[in-house]
Structure 1
Amino acid sequence: MQVEVRGRRARRWVAFGLIAFGALFSVIGLVLAGVSVSYVADGERASGTVVALDWQGGHAGGSRKSRSGNEPVAHPVVEFTPAGGTPTRFREFTGSNPPAYEVGERVDVRYRADSPEDARIEAFTTMWLLPLVFGGLGLLIAGVGTGIALYGRERS
């Protein structure tokens, strides 16, 4: 009897934790999606050029056999001219290895008219990947927690 009560309590805490964690991830995904939607709905569009690759992370002088988490990633630095403005540069917050863009490559840019330096490359990975990952994982984790809670309810 004592073991069964402890098992039920543990299952409830696990279910609660998973639902709460999943809800947090879902909210983060929704916030990130809202930011992307604001760029699409309210942002201006311009054409830009990748002028540099800003390599970040990794070990200086590390071996080639280093773990993948220690390898540097390239963040594109883009220059564009906003409507009626002066040329502006920004560093994209997402990076990759191998680089997703080459120096000299033309890209579409979304920016805020009141602060052109707050810009993004208009691509699926920069606009929608993080919201989908956080939202999807959040729904999956919360769904597992809900399943555990419902299973526990049926058994009792």
Structure 2
Amino acid sequence: MRFQVRGWGARRWITFGAIAFGTLFMAVGLLLAGISVSFLTDAERAQGTVVSLEWRNDHSGASRKTRKSDKPVAYPVVEFTSADGTQRTFRSSTGSNPPSYDEGELVEVLYHADSPEDARIKGFASLWLLPLIFGGIGLLIAGIGTAVARMGRWRS
């Protein structure tokens, strides 16, 4: 069995790899979007208050040495009352610098009635950021791979 290392054969494999990689990323983005939509349709809503901001450096030691601007990230800690009357507190899984929320700010909280500890702030970042990142990167890479493949067919 012979493999062509240079020329059109290598370009085909690279193009196929880019399309496959991009398609995989788009599929992950769609899966994450589906999870967010499912969460939104089944979620209970409650009014919550940002009681504090938890500042953290989430970077590992190796990457910390190579980065020039290692700023801490603020994660809002939110308190809300679930439908059963229990006071609940959770830390958002989405943080930012500068902070997206201020202490004392009122926010809408989404949670499942059977697992209120799995709560999220109803906001763009907590619901749609990951699906958009994965879907956008996938669309870009698959689009480039498709464009290269179409140009190759057009030339031949």
* 1:36-91 Cα distance to aligned partner (Å, 9 max, x none): 101211111111011111111168xxxxxx723x2110010111111013111111
1:1-156 paired onto structure 2 within 5 Å: 6-57=6-57, 67-68=68-69, 70-156=70-156
Partner of 1:62: none
Could you say what secondary structure the match of 1:71 adopts?
coil
Match of 2:10, as an amino acid?
A: A
SS in 2 for 1:128: helix
Aligned pairs, how many?
Answer: 146
Q: TM (normalized to structure 2)?
A: 0.86
Contact conserved, 1:58 with 1:71, CA < 8 A, in 2? no
Distance apart, 1:22 and its partner CA: 0.7
3-state secondary structure, aligned to 1:75: strand
Q: Look up the match of 2:63.
A: none
Name structure 1 gaps, 5 residues minimum. Answer: 60-65
SS at match of 2:102: coil
Question: For 2:39 and 2:118, how far apart are their aligned partners in 1?
Answer: 10
Deviation at 1:154, TM superposition (A): 2.4
How far residue 92 of structure 1 moved from its aligned partner, in angstroms, is 0.7
Whether the 8 Å CA contact 1:54–1:74 is kept in 2: the answer is: yes
State the shift of 1:113 in Å: 1.0
- Distance in 2 separating the partners of 1:58 and 1:36: 24
Distance in structure 2 (CA, Å) of the matches to 1:100 and 1:150: 43
Percent of aligned pairs sharing the same letter:
63
**Quick one: distance in 1 between partners of 2:85 and 2:26?**
38
Runs of 4+ in structure 1 displaced over 6 angstroms?
none
* Letter paired with 2:68: R
